[in-house]
Chains A and B, each alone.
Chain A
Amino acid sequence: MIPEIIIRNAPALLIAVPMLAAFITPVIVRAGNGVMKAWALLATAATAAIAAIVAWQVLDFGTIVYTFGAAAPGLAVPLDSGGIPVRIIFTIDAMSAFMGIIATISAFAVCLYAVASEGRQTGQEIFFALLLLLEVGILGMVSTGDLFNFFVFLEINSIAGAALVSYRIRGGLSVEAAMKYGFISTLGGLIVLTAIGLLYGQYGALNMAMVASRMQFTMLDGIALAMLVAALAMKSGAVPMHFWTPDAYGLAPASVTAFLVVASQASLYGVFRIVFTLYGGIVQSLDWTTVGWIVIVLGVLSMFVGVTMAIPQHDVKRLMAYHAVSQTGYMLLGVGVGIALLGTSSFDTYGIVAMEGGIFHIFNHAMYKGLLFLTAGAIIYRTGTSDLNRMGGLGHSMKWTMLFFGIGALAIAGIPPFNGFASKLMIYESVYLFNPLLAVIAMVVSILTLASFVKVFHAMFMGPRLPEFAEVREVPAPMLLGMGLLAVIVVFFGVFPEQVVAGLVEPAARALADQGAYIASVLGGA
């Protein structure tokens, strides 16, 4: 049914299709603005289809290895090279495929939403081209198996993200936030590159599997690990390097913010990939319990600082940005518990469940946080203000938006039957077995989140119809469709969590934890 050539080259097409679409977007706009938008939508839909093909291949036949420039995709190690890979290799395991699905679904929903929400701006062709390039950056980061290639896509991600944050100049405020974001990202990128240089200087290889198989864990490797994790954690917006998040998330257009959440999670994926795959083989020489506890403490701090900073905010997008920091903490907590138990007997009983919870939360967070940012954008689109104190009574005129916001708010607070509950329950259960206090903290943070969103819901939708918002109508259909797509996924994943966990999340967690399989898929059975 699907041509053989597409299946064979699906990993390359996953990058090439949105890239080609982005190159053409500024040219195709000469045929009309509508044509350009249709083109961007088509490109994101095609990319989502390719991501689905890749995921299907990975789940059915195991990790895909795609060697760029070799005679055949699976020919990772040339016959005459003495067992070392020399080319750039995409290594797409279940975790990568999982992240690819998140990114492409989110990109499609955001693109649909932006068709209407950015309709009043100039330079829309640049906006859509940058959106596609941001998708390229995210997909490249999650699929690559090469350290330097990872850096290149990290830079595409950073630059496209920074440019998009500045899209609405807003008297210079957006530019200021973009400046901060761009500066921090560039500095982080240089730190990552230095660490890659350190690894290359010792092992003479850039392929992750190759470096992992040779890893000695010298002092230099320790420094490289610290640099990589610090730089990527900074980009993922975890405490204590979270200071850019509220500015960038708050001042970017809502559609961009919903996608920047995924961009941050690609950096989080980078942290996990580096800890588990690059350094996972040295269980003896590295104290995993300590590393796990560092991640756990960062996670708990993120959860707590995020939610306490969020409560007093009165700008709706800044408030949600702090909640994004807080939710990142849950992912770090879940995966941190998994790291702390790595190599012990408890790992297979509840350590893996904690990791699954953390990874499932990445997906859920991308969906409901994206939905929440999009609803906030819908309200700003109609009312022109993001100040909660000046809103009120919008429930009378924006019923669909109110429904979607309600779904997102209940999901983020972990109320059944929405998807946030499914992943948080997995985190609570397993973390309770590890350390009851951590589970209690996680629950308290959830309650605070609920309180904060009840307040927001009340401020925005309840109360009498305000005279200044008498003209307010429901937002245009494409925006509702974009939000509706995410809302359906939020509900669906909340109602059928077992199937999703068994089908997608558990393979991803197993793939992440199994370093030997990753190395063997590239280097062969050696």
Chain B
Amino acid sequence: MRGIARALTVVILAGAFLYLAFALSFGAPAASEMDDYFIGHGQEQTGANNIVTAVVFDYRGFDTLGEATVLFTAVLGVGLLFRKFSTEEDE
């Protein structure tokens, strides 16, 4: 029963993924005004030649702060798991 359900899930997902793979056209994005703006104005506005860096740290800098926070959170989580336990605790 479990096996059948799993096989069914995989088949349905395979169909959906293949549909998605052909629904979008590779190499010709449908809309790109925002990216054209970055390429056209990024150099003058931020002074960075590398437009990806300009996007990462300037236009979408707040995302990068979030991403750095995610890394910090993971380090805290790992530290929490491998912390030293006092004898009083059950661990």
Contact = CB atoms under 8 A, between A and B. Distances in A.
Chains A and B touch (C-beta atoms under 8 A apart)? yes
B30 to A, nearest CB: 5
Contact of A163 (B23, B33, B37, B76): B76
Contact of A140 (B31, B34, B66, B91): B66
A42 B66 CA distance: 22
A152 B67 contact: yes
B80 interface: yes
B83 A123 contact: yes
Contacts of A80: 41
Given A26-B76, A133-B69, A175-B81, A223 B16 contact: yes
A220 interface: yes
Interface string A218-245: 0110010000000000000000000000
Chain B, interface SS category? helix
B77 A86 contact: no
Given A198-B20, A204-B34, A88 B80 contact: no
Interface residues of A, number: 53
A130 B73 contact: yes
A163 B73 contact: yes
Interface in A454-486: none
Interface string A178-192: 000000000000000
Contacts of B84: 122
A123 B66 contact: no
A126 B84 CA distance: 12
Interface stretch (A95-103, A154-162, A512-520): A154-162
Interface string B12-46: 00001000100110000111111101100100000
B75 to A, nearest CB: 9
Interface string B54-91: 00001111110111011011101101110111101111
Interface string A76-87: 001011101011
Interface stretch (A164-172, A279-287, A337-345, A440-448): A164-172
Contacts of B34: 84, 86, 204-206
A88 B77 contact: no
Contacts of B69: 19, 22, 133, 136, 156
A126 B83 contact: yes
A156 B81 contact: no
Contact of B77 (A84, A136, A163, A220): A163
From B16, B76, B90, name the one whose CB has the most chain A CB atoms within 10 angstroms: B76
A136 B69 CA distance: 10
B25 to A, nearest CB: 9
A120 interface: yes
A86 B37 contact: yes
Contacts of B38: 86
A206 B32 CA distance: 11
A492 interface: no
21 contacts: A69-B61, A81-B37, A81-B41, A84-B33, A84-B34, A87-B60, A126-B79, A133-B72, A133-B76, A149-B63, A149-B66, A152-B70, A155-B70, A162-B77, A163-B76, A170-B90, A175-B81, A202-B24, A204-B33, A204-B35, A214-B31
Interface of A: 19, 22-23, 26, 68-69, 78, 80-82, 84, 86-88, 120-123, 126-127, 129-130, 133, 136, 140, 148-149, 152-153, 155-156, 159-160, 162-163, 166-171, 175, 198, 201-206, 214, 219-220, 223
Given A159-B73, A163-B80, A168-B90, 6 more contacts: A22-B72, A80-B41, A88-B63, A133-B72, A156-B69, A220-B20
